[in-house]
Structure 1
Amino acid sequence: MKSIIIGGGKVGYYLVQTLKKRGYYVVLIERNGAICQKIAEDIDIEIICGDGTDLEVLKDAGIQEAEIIAAVTGTDEENLVICEIAKVSFNINKTIARINNPKNIAMFKALGVDKTVCSTEVIANLIEYEFDKDNFKLIHTFERGAMILVEIIIHADDRWSNQFIQDMDLPAECVITSILRDEQVIYPRGDTRFLENDKVLVITNKAALAKLKKIR
């Protein structure tokens, strides 16, 4: 799984460092040569010295093989342009933009940027969740990533399938808010049974989510 981070400032530095420690393949694009040199001395990652809004620079970084683009420069306008280029020119489905001015959040979302966040840790978690292909879909984060809303799709071979909620050994830090079944919204109770193709909405945290994956 490959992600490209544009912007090697404080946020970008700690973001690539965090992703590297978690074992992800990450490429950094930064236009300042001195910053590139400093990061290269500290972190063993691929670094492209160039403008993240330049199509040729993005191609050099291997954007065609990337699954996620995170624009974390210090300029909201540049982050927006980068995300738009990634979507329109390279068909990248997942784009994450750092927002420096909260007033710009609505504009970014209206223009199709998938996620807008400020915290390095939250951005790192978003990338990790997007790389997760185990039918767990991150819907939203709360309290700077302390809580997360996740959609879980039930398949026929899951341990959850045809099980009652009351019989499931769910983590304490886990609240099932609703079940989407066809076009029906179900507000579950203990005697509610999970069925194939159900979309289960769960509020939890990162540690409890790991436990949920193990019991599927």
Structure 2
Amino acid sequence: MRVAIAGAGAVGRSIARELIVNGHDVLLIDKAADAIRPEQVPDAEWLLADSCELSSLEEARLQQCDVVIAATGDDKVNLVTSLLAKTEFGVPRTVGRVNHPDNEWLFTEAWGVDVNVSTPRIMSALVEEAVSVGDLVRLFTFRKGNANLVEMVLPEDSPYVGTPAGLIPWPENCSLVTILRDGQVYPPDGEQPIESGDELMFVVGAEVEEELEQMLAPRADRG
């Protein structure tokens, strides 16, 4: 897979290293000359250019890319880069980095963003995940599927403690992805019971999140 990353700072370089390790071809683009450091990611291609300029993206052969990641520290640049990649070059998938939480609402398909990654939201979710028991915590949003990756630490008073996962009447548009217990990952097969303290991860439609939460951890204050 060929991936272009706009923004060759610490974030962009880190993403590039991970993708290269996984066998992908990576192009790093940045308009700042001091950001072009091929010695730090020697297996990547490098391009000194402005990703908001159509001519620069033509030089980068963006039409040959499977994914474009807009990972600069400027939300305006990330939006414009994503929009050009999608509308002018038909890139199948775009990922936009959100630097300021107030701008997250802009990072949608209307601006050519298939997936937005908000560092403040991820950090907040991780904090919630660390301290919350019995509350559904949203970890990630899949824009195209109108679904979310969510997690819950099952409370000891859940009515489904000890019930095999395959016998639980999960809501429609909801799929149990995995069960995490004592540092081990368990498949969500029909015979595996869920236990108090398990971390349950789901892909679920936003419209049934409340139903799932109330089902696993019913509380009077949830109605």
Give the structure-2-normalised TM-score.
0.56
Q: State the partner residue of 1:169.
A: none
Instruction: Rate the CA distance shift 1:107–1:177 in 2: closer, same or farther, 3 A.
Output: farther
1:79 aligns to 2:73 (yes or no): no
Q: Deviations over 1:72-109 (max 9, x none)?
A: 11100110011111111112231111001111111222
1:3-18 → structure 2 map (5 Å cutoff): 3-18=3-18
Q: State the partner residue of 1:49.
A: 48
Instruction: Rate the CA distance shift 1:142–1:100 in 2: closer, same or farther, 3 A.
Output: farther
On the 8 A contact 1:176/1:203 being kept in 2, the answer is no
The amino acid that maps onto 1:108 is F
Superposition RMSD in Å: 3.6
Work out which of the two has the higher radius of gyration on C-alpha atoms and give 1 or 2: 2
Identity, in percent, stands at 27
TM-superposed CA distance for 1:203, in Å, is: 3.1
Instruction: Rate the CA distance shift 1:63–1:208 in 2: closer, same or farther, 3 A.
Output: farther
The amino acid that maps onto 1:91 is G
Instruction: Rate the CA distance shift 1:56–1:99 in 2: closer, same or farther, 3 A.
Output: same
List 4+ stretches of structure 1 deviating above 6 A. Answer: none
On the 8 A contact 1:177/1:203 being kept in 2, the answer is no
> What SS does the aligned partner of 1:42 have?
coil
On the 8 A contact 1:3/1:70 being kept in 2, the answer is yes
| Larger CA deviation: 25-34 vs 73-82 | 25-34
Aligned length: 150
Where do 5+ consecutive residues of structure 2 fail to align?
123-141, 152-164, 189-223
TM-superposed CA distance for 1:176, in Å, is: 9.5
Q: State the partner residue of 1:153.
A: none
Q: State the partner residue of 1:148.
A: none
More relative contact order, 1 or 2 (CA 8 Å, 6+ apart): 1
On the 8 A contact 1:70/1:95 being kept in 2, the answer is yes
1:201 aligns to 2:200 (yes or no): no
Instruction: Rate the CA distance shift 1:62–1:139 in 2: closer, same or farther, 3 A.
Output: farther
On the 8 A contact 2:32/2:48 being kept in 1, the answer is yes
